Amino acid sequence: MSFAPPPPERVAALACGEKMYFTGKPCKRGHVAPRRVDSYSCSECLRERTEAWAKKNPNRAKEIDHAWKRKNAGRLAQRHAAYAEKNRDALRAYNKAWASRNSERVRNANRKRRARLNGGVLSANIEMVLRELQRGRCAVCCRRLGGNTHLDHIMPLALGGTNTDTNAQLLCRSCNQRKHAKHPVQFMQEQGYLL
Ligand SMILES: [Zn+2]
Ligand SMILES: [Zn+2]
């Protein structure tokens, strides 16, 4: 039996007190990745093995993850806070840019969350039914609804309205934009109705 001498990179890392060393040579499974000084193990192999284990033991993995986070909560929170403080303006700009790039997504997520909170399901043909009931006109301004109709919740979901047929109406685009998430009585009064 013969032993290969330890690679010089490991010797150097050991001398410097580092935990990893890197030779640039692939492991048995072809990863070109840093290796651990203590065990010579390829870090990529270790990562894969850990991941496979976690997939087989999801509950235990979650427990370990939670325990680690609990143990390091103070340190993590400190690091997050320091990072957020240091990059406050950049983070704010980033969040704003993300939300505006994904406005549709943000709106949909909000809608879904509210629908979940308030319950209720609209009939699949609700638009057709309402068009008939409203004689093809906007429920607020009575102008003819062209192709540009908006299904509106009379009592906004944000104000506790339900996602049900009896809380639905069709509005023209401009009425819908003005109404947005206003209380229906407040909105109609603003339009000059004595509700
Ligand atoms: Zn490997
Ligand atoms: Zn209208």
**Contact present, 38 and 26 (Cβ < 8 Å):** no
- Determine the distance separating the centroid of ligand 1 and the alpha carbon of 32, expressed in angstroms: 7
Ligand number, closest to the Cα atom of 172: 2
- Is CATH 1.10.30.50 the right assignment for the domain spanning 121-190? yes
- Determine the distance separating the centroid of ligand 1 and the alpha carbon of 5, expressed in angstroms: 20
Q: Find, among 157, 188, 153, 184, the residue nearest to 168 by Cα.
A: 153
Ligand number, closest to the Cα atom of 48: 1
pTM over 0.75: no
**Contact present, 169 and 145 (Cβ < 8 Å):** no
Ligand number, closest to the Cα atom of 175: 2
> Which sequence spans correspond to the domains of the chain?
8-63, 121-190
User: What Å distances lie between residue 173 and 9, 52, 157, 183, CA to CA?
Assistant: 68, 52, 19, 18
| pLDDT tens for the 195 residues of the chain, in order | 456 777 888 988 888 888 999 999 999 999 999 999 999 999 999 999 999 999 999 999 999 999 988 888 888 888 888 888 888 888 888 888 888 888 888 888 877 777 776 777 888 889 999 999 999 999 989 999 988 889 999 988 878 888 889 999 999 998 998 887 788 888 888 878 776
Ligand number, closest to the Cα atom of 46: 1
